[in-house]
A and B are shown apart, each in its own frame.
Chain A
């Protein structure tokens, strides 16, 4: 309960700061939109030159992309920790975090949240509805519920992976820029994994399970029954990875060396 209350306290603070710099907000929303558009343009241009991608149609790929945007938006809003190493380890902000009576990871998340990224979920839903209506998809009454569960699973997968990468900073002796590169790899989960060879498919399913943020759960709504097993596994993978990442984080904090050493 305390953590829920703290969450809303921080959200309120965040709003106050944000409203002070309104111009930034507009530019950021715009650059988010641009980012989403570029990926869509990529898909559109590619399908100018081909009908199917390994048996998947243009609208199916667009639908997967739309689905991907929803968990990704939630992830970006609450796990904006790509500069964790620089901000908290190198500059020593972690010292301050560790003198407060709230779990350290939770504090970092609260301090770094970027709620404007939530707007990406709206774009994602719009893209899904566009592609879904062209595909004449049928929905059951419980599908919205399942959608929420699969989205949350996807968020946890993303969060788990990125928290683990942030944890590297507790062990490694120098800064790393793996984080931005990892965003690139995350993109490959948006394409049907059966286009890749076994090694990459294995990586995207079990090692860096980005496929659970895009193609696997989206396959359920596209009625691709051969993938249903993976679709249902999304929340499980999410919980496993996120739990593991919190565990690694707790171990990492013990090895924190402090700033200026």
Chain B
């Protein structure tokens, strides 16, 4: 069963450009230059129940706009959305009962009152019974380790503490679908790890579908098998994270640290019949050979180099997801 079905979804915004200078501003008072800008440009995709999907793209690529349409906040210009079997905007009040939303940049909790008061109020808002609440939330509170924070007002919490509480608040009604918009922005590594672990756990336990946008690709690597990549309102990649790497992760890097003094030209001469490009990090005296995915070439480079010099350390690196994605955006998908 599909949790999310998006078909030819499009959202246009009317933007007006200001004329420059004072006289331009006066003219704006009477007539304005309007421009129709599509923020999301006819996209289609499906997400199955229980999937964890990373939704990535640069700032302004249309991520937030899509999430806001999927959560019923914005009305699409054209196209169809079915989420949890409903049209988010048309049946908003019934629909939001079945989703949880966390906006990393915006608090869902009441600023001035204690966290548990916010929880209590949300519990009533989502019509959660005491029995359900106790069973489910006891566990959530324990796993996220927020027990000691419950009686503190939100404004007194640190960002990491607040984010954990936000996450708990979004799960009070144990929704089958969770939207996370930049949930780890500005958090330290320990909190990030805790949040990731928690997300994995609820995904396994309740088969919760999770759609995640983030700038931190390590989040995606840790959680998502599938990524959807957006550029200027269009989907430029939709598929497994692994095949993205295979397809775009060009080659390997082999770094050597030598015990004796090495010479870049000599190294280049050694491997001149192979596909290899040598680089030297002057500061650390690390020599790196960049090569393709040909395994024969990799082993040849290592064998010849080791034979020529005494080696202290050898590392084989694949390009990181971040590099791959930067590459895609810089060079384009074609």
Contact = CB atoms under 8 A, between A and B. Distances in A.
A–B direct contact (CB < 8 Å): yes
Interface of A: 2, 5-6, 9-10, 13, 16-17, 20, 92-96, 98-103, 173, 254-258, 260-261
A258 B68 contact: yes
B110 A92 contact: no
A20 to B, nearest CB: 7
Contact of A16 (B71, B74, B99, B117): B117
A206 to B, nearest CB: 30
A10 B125 CA distance: 10
A92 B106 contact: yes
B112 interface: yes
Given A254-B75, A257-B13, A20 B112 contact: yes
B97 interface: yes
Nearest to A17: B112
Contact of A101 (B16, B97, B103, B121): B97
B288 interface: no
Contacts of B97: 101
A99 B101 contact: yes
Nearest to B101: A99
Contacts of A99: 71-73, 96, 99, 101, 108
A6 B101 CA distance: 21
Given A101-B125, A258-B73, 15 more contacts: A9-B121, A13-B110, A13-B117, A17-B110, A94-B73, A95-B73, A96-B103, A96-B106, A98-B92, A99-B71, A101-B94, A254-B89, A256-B73, A256-B75, A257-B74
Contact of B126 (A93, A101, A261): A101
A9 B113 CA distance: 13
Nearest to B103: A95
A90 B113 CA distance: 24
Nearest to B179: A99
A261 B14 CA distance: 10
B203 interface: no
A258 B103 CA distance: 13
B39 interface: yes
6 A-B pairs with least C-beta separation: A98-B73, A99-B101, A101-B97, A17-B112, A254-B75, A101-B93
B124 A9 contact: yes
Nearest to B98: A101
Interface in B11-47: 13, 16, 39
A96 B72 contact: no
A140 B65 CA distance: 60
Contact of B74 (A10, A173, A256): A256
Q: Which of B75, B92, B107 has the most CB of A within 10 A?
A: B92
Interface string B95-136: 011010101001110101100010001001111000000000
20 contacts: A2-B127, A9-B121, A9-B124, A17-B113, A93-B106, A95-B68, A95-B73, A98-B72, A98-B92, A99-B71, A99-B73, A100-B96, A101-B93, A102-B93, A254-B75, A256-B75, A257-B13, A258-B64, A258-B65, A261-B39
Contacts of B110: 13, 17
A101 B96 contact: yes
Contacts of B101: 99
A235 to B, nearest CB: 28
Contacts of B99: 99
Contacts of B93: 101-103
Contacts of B39: 261
Nearest to A107: B125
A101 B99 CA distance: 10
Contacts of B113: 13, 16-17
A99 B74 CA distance: 11
